[in-house]
Every structure is written in structure tokens, then in C-alpha cells.
Structure 1
Amino acid sequence: MLEEVDFYKEAANIEAFRSYLEAMGLTRQATAPKVYQHCSTKRILTMERLYGVPLTDLDSISSLVSSPETSLITALNVWFGSLLACETFHADVHAGNLWLLRDGRIGFLDFGIVGRISPKTWTAMEVFLASIATEEYESMASALIEMGATDKDVDVMAFAKDLEKIFSSIQDLDTELIVATARDRTTNATAVSANVVVDERQMNALFLDVIRVSESYGLKFPREFALLMKQLLYFDRYTRLLAPNLNMLQDQRISIVSNRGSRSRNTFR
């Protein structure tokens, strides 16, 4: 928590992400606010103001771009790419921090919470992600065992069955459609906007269920796994809202780079 309120560190996180976008030629697809260093201190962070809407504002998104699905794919590719290219990754991509900007780019906001991923965790995460996509729960269980520190012999089959019960419940997460109307007093025209709200408490409960069941088998995960899991749940909800026919872990338009050996770990920091 102390690191989260150190604005020098947050400014460094933002600049590293902006350097990544520039080096990868992604500045036309995504951005993060420019930091005004001369106006910033450890307790004050002065940044460029971005204009846009959260990735859950369906009505506004549809008015800004012709394909919300394409915008979501861009957000996924930029974020997944940062896992490999940057020393840290954005670890708080809820709708308030991930926007579609007026110019059509994806805006990443608030770098106060970031994660650092180790080679061991990433290798296991790749197997874990693949197993989610294919619903191979034994592989999922094995990947989680690889990530978790334990001195116990884990019953993989029993663990897999418990995980299957949890992930089946993702389909049951609730969304609420909020419709707002506004009347123009001069033209008497009525504008209608819609915004989808995801029950974040349900998402957190799902995540905690995975941790709880894993701990019941003696597993203790590194913080980076918890952060990655939560971001994937956020992206899962955006996918269901903006591109319900998209499988974010199997679609070939989404790049989850597997060659970690090619990563220059300290290039963007």
C-alpha cells in the first residue's frame, strides 16, 4: 500500500509504459497520461488529462468506434504485451482505469498498483491460461500446483474437480444494464444512454474461491499470481460485454507471447 501512494514510483511506472508503447509502435492504438515531472512530487502527481469513457459504457463506445470488439482486442494485446516487455504490468484494469478515448485509442490510467512477474510464474501462467481456454482442469490444477509453494502431495484429480465447479460459475456472473435519459430543453429531443455495470463483488468472490480452494490443498501463491488473476477476470467481463463471441485466450488476433526468453526484462522500467 505504501508503494501505491508514492507518486514518484507511479510516475516511473507510467513513463515505462509510455516508453513500451513508443518502442513497440503502439502509440496510435493506446496511451497513458503524460506526467508533468516539474509539477509533481512524492505526494502530488500532475498528468495530462485524457477524455474518454470506461470500457463498460456500451452506448458511448458504439458512438466512438464502429467495432467495440476491435478496441477490446487492442486493449488485450497491449496489456498482454506489457507482461513480457515491461518490468512491471498494470495490475488494476477495472473500468475506471481502462478507457476508450475520444480519438479511438485505449487509455490506461492509474499505475499505482503494478505487478512484477517471475519467469516461473509466467511459465505456469501460460499453461493455466491455455487450460482455461480448453477447459482442461487437470492441466489447470497442475499449473496452479507449479505456481504454489507447498510441501504436500496434492490430489490433482480432486483439485481439478473443485476448479471446474468454480470456473463453471463464471457464466453466472450478473451484469446490470443502467439506462439513462436526458432531454434537450431547446429541441425537446431525448437522448438515451446505456452503461453495463458488473458486480465487482461477485468477481472478487470468484477469485477468492480459487484462492480458498487452492489453499485447502496446501498451496500458497505469490502476489503476482493474485494480481494477474484479477486482471483476467476484468478482461473476461469486458469480453462478455463488448465481444460476447470472442474467446480471448484462443482468438488468433490476440497475442499471448510465449517466448519469454526473448524478453529484455529491464528494457522499460
Structure 2
Amino acid sequence: MVADFADNLAEELDFRLEAQSMEAWVSHLHASPLGKNIRVPQVHWDFTTERVLTMERVHGIRIDNAAAIRKAGFDGVELVKALLFSVFEGGLRHGLFHGDLHAGNLYVDEAGRIVFFDFGIMGRIDPRTRWLLRELVYALLVKKDHAAAGKIVVLMGAVGTMKPETQAAKDLERFATPLTMQSLGDMSYADIGRQLSALADAYDVKLPRELVLIGKQFLYVERYMKLLAPRWQMMSDPQLTGYFANFMVEVSREHQSDIEV
């Protein structure tokens, strides 16, 4: 915890690092059509130093002001899709995500795009952990191989209390099966979090800081989903289901190539 605090403090005290993280993050997201509604303030590098970050002035509506967003004619569904995409694409594909998505850091500009502010807290997921997370998703949701999923969690070095593999597989199956039987739009990330917490307690799981941080961002997104698109069914959305399908195909190919090697 002390080391994490020191790392974050060093980055937050050097605004050049924050600006670099911001530009790297948004460049990843703009590579996909789903990133079209995401932007960051332009950095004026000639006037930016270690102690001063100079950016364009942005006017907009706070992301949690649903009434004003609707009055302006902006599509809440598109905004929520952009938020979800920012966490999935940034965190699981590129290993870089905004680590503080409270409403004061998210504004909707005059073009209906979400402007992300304050990149002092950035989540970083190293390549090995990203690979393990993708394998975990593949094992749970595609192969439905709960024994393999349990082994992946152990590989993450997170489990303190070991139990027989058969018991661990059953526990993971009880957690994962409901996720495959309902649309994501019907899920509550808060409920999922509580179930995960109970499972973590049973196995004395100590999750890496970055995984806890990305989980917190999903809770923020759930709040905005209820405010801006309460009737939206995520897995009935062709653009988002296409994105997730392509993501899982990539994971499946990675898995197959590992077997062939």
C-alpha cells in the first residue's frame, strides 16, 4: 500500500506525466469507432511543466446531471456505451484506464462527447495480469471450465486459503453461472461485487490494487447507467455485443495459438 501511494504521489506531483498518460490513453480509445464519443482536454505543452498543467478550457454538463443532458438532446445510451468501452478497452486490452470516474471528472461537451478530466490516478494492468484476466474470462464465460478458472486465480497469486480443486470449481460455478444466463443490462455490479467479496473472504483472496481500482470504476459506470439509460439492455446492443464478440474471438485465438505452440 505504501509503495502504491508513493508511485501515485510521484505521478500526481509531475503534471507532465499526467498529461502523457492522458494523451496515451485517449489515443488507444480513438482507434475504435466506440471511442468517437470520448475526448480529453487539449494539452498546451509549451505552457506545461512539472508543476503546471495547462489545458484548453472546456464547457459542459456533468455526467450525473441527467435532466440537463436530456434537455440538451444527448443520447444517454451512447454516453454509457462510451464509458463502458473506456474501462474495458483501456484496462483489459491496453492496460491503462482512468482510475477516478466520479462525476466531477466527467463532463458532456457541446458535441455530446464525454470529456475526461484529472488523470492523476491512472490504473495500469501489466501484460501478464491482462493475459490472466482474459484467460479467466475465457474459462468462465466461453469454456465454462471452472476448474481452469480456479487455477488462473491461483496463478494471479491472490489466493491465501487453498481448498480442494473440486470445491473451488463448484464455488466458481455458483458465481459464474448466473452471469451467463442474464443480459448484462439486468446485472447489478454492486450485487456482483458483494458476491465476489463473499467468495474472496472464503478463500482469503487478496486482489491486486489495480483490479480493485478497475472494479470501483464499474460501480461508477453502473450509477451513470441507471441515471442516463435505465432501460437499456447492454447485450441487446449490436455495437457493444459486436465489440465483446470480437474481444472473445481474440482471446480464443490467443488460447488456441498457445496450445499449438
Match of 2:56 among 45, 48, 64: 48
Of 106, 110, 114, the match for 1:98: 106
Identify, as 1 or 2, the structure richer in strand.
1
8 Å CA contact retained: 2:160, 2:203:
no
Structure 1 CA distance for aligned equivalents of residues 137 and 106 of structure 2: 22
Q: If the length of structure 1 is used for normalisation, what is the TM-score?
A: 0.65
Q: Deviations over 1:114-166 (max 9, x none)?
A: 11223453355457779999xx9x79x847556452353235345777999xx
Matched, 1:229 2:215: yes
Q: Could you say what secondary structure the match of 1:253 adopts?
A: helix
Structure 2 unmatched ranges of 5 or more:
1-7, 178-185, 255-261
Could you tell me which of 118, 121, 125 is aligned with 1:113?
121
Q: 1:71 maps to which residue? A: 79
Q: For 2:18, give the aligned amino acid.
A: E
Match of 2:158, as an amino acid?
A
CA-atom RMSD, angstroms? Answer: 4.1
Structure 1, 243-252 or 28-37: larger mean CA deviation = 243-252
- Are residues 100 and 11 of structure 1, via their aligned partners in 2, closer, same or farther at CA, if it must alter by over 3 Å? same
- Percent of residue pairs identical: 32
Structure 1 residues 127, 51: closer, same or farther in 2, change over 3 A?
farther
The alpha carbon displacement at 1:47 in A equals 1.0
* 1:115-194 alignment, distance < 5 Å: 115-123=123-131, 125-126=133-134, 142=150, 147-150=156-159, 152-154=161-163, 155-156=167-168, 157=170
Does the Cα contact within 8 Å between 1:88 and 1:114 map onto a contact in 2? yes
Unaligned runs of 5+ in 1: 165-170, 174-202, 263-269
Alpha-carbon distance in 1 for matches of 2:137, 2:68: 31
Displacement of 1:240 in angstroms is 1.7
Give the superposition deviation at 1:244. Answer: 1.8
Q: How many residues align?
A: 227
| SS of the residue 2:103 aligns to | coil
Q: Are residues 241 and 98 of structure 1, via their aligned partners in 2, closer, same or farther at CA, if it must alter by over 3 Å?
A: same
In 2 relative to 1, CA 27–45 (structure 1 residues): closer, same or farther, beyond 3 Å?
A: same
Q: Deviations over 1:172-196 (max 9, x none)?
A: x9xxxxxxxxxxxxxxxxxxxxxxx
Runs of 4+ in 1 over 6 A off after TM superposition: 127-133, 159-164
2:43 equivalent among 24, 30, 35 = 35
**Further displaced range: 13-22 or 28-37:** 13-22
Partner letter of residue 150 of structure 1?
V
Distance 2:138 2:228 in 1: 22
Segment drifting more, 36-45 vs 114-123: 114-123
Question: Quick one: structure 1 residues 128 and 240, their matched pair in 2 at CA, closer, same or farther if it must change by over 3 Å?
Answer: farther
Normalised by the size of structure 2, how large is the TM-score?
0.67
Q: Does 1:19 align with 2:27?
A: yes
Counterpart amino acid of 2:20?
A
